[in-house]
Amino acid sequence: MSAELDMLPAFWMQRSRRARIGFRTFLKQKRLASSPSGARLSAPEKVGTERKPHLQLLITLSVLCAVAGVLLLGEGLWIKAKAQLAQILLDRAFAQSIASGQPVKPWGWADTWPIARISVPRLKASSIALAGSSGQALAFGPGHLDASPRPGERGTAVFAAHRDTHFRFLGDLKIGDEIRVTREDGITFIYEMTGSEIVRWDHSNIDAGASGYNLALATCWPLDGTFRGPLRYVVHARLKPTAMFSDSQRIARATLY
């Protein structure tokens, strides 16, 4: 009997421990049953589940940004490469035009042809200009506006080009710089920069029929911009009165003012 009494405390301790465990199990089942999904996640599991979609979204956005960057870089490189290759073909066609005295297309399907070379000796910059100012012409070089006179003729000869390729040098020009324009007949006219201005595309104030012998070079503004806008940067120049030369000899000298 005494042995049985000695075992009672241990018996009740085990019973009470089982009771506590059972009570905890009951509370846990009750919480799970009352949760909307039927099973409430523990705190670590819930945080991990919430973070996983955010991580996937971040990875997706990063990949999209990287792809967009590669595409933009590729497009920029393609534009510059196309401009450089086109100038090589245009330079060859321009030399043939001077030699033959006839317009020579740079490639078979071209709807334009080289009519002048525009160069700035101080900057060592040079571009072959094309007839017309269509989108196709401007993709390969400066375009000469049809409504304006030829270089060397009375009025204002107007050329336009993209700011990120053929007319990138306009921002480096200074008043007094020489701008040489060689026509397809081999005659070179030397202009002197007189100033520049920023204007709206539809209010450029360029007068093709102005008195004197003038030159206007136009491109988009700002010069380091990436999107098209309504503003244009225009460089103005005036023909030097001493100035008409062929490739090999001086052929004329005239006082033009």
Six-digit token pair at 225?
A: 């911009």
User: Is residue 22 scored above 80 in pLDDT?
Assistant: no
Contacts of 200 (CB under 8 A, 6+ apart): 230, 231, 232
Give me the residue spans of the domains in the chain.
75-252
Write down the pLDDT at residue 12.
42
Q: What pLDDT was estimated at residue 73? A: 46
Average pLDDT over residues 81-110: 83
Predicted structure pTM score: 0.65
Span 96-105, mean pLDDT?
Answer: 90
Instruction: Write the pLDDT tens digit of every residue in 147-203.
Output: 999 999 999 999 999 988 889 999 999 999 999 999 999 999 999 999 999 999 888
Number of alpha carbons in the 13 Å side-chain half-sphere of residue 41: 9
The CATH code belonging to domain 75-252 is 2.40.260.10
Write down the pLDDT at residue 78. Answer: 47
Residue 66: band (very low, low, confident or very high) from pLDDT cuts 50, 70, 90:
low
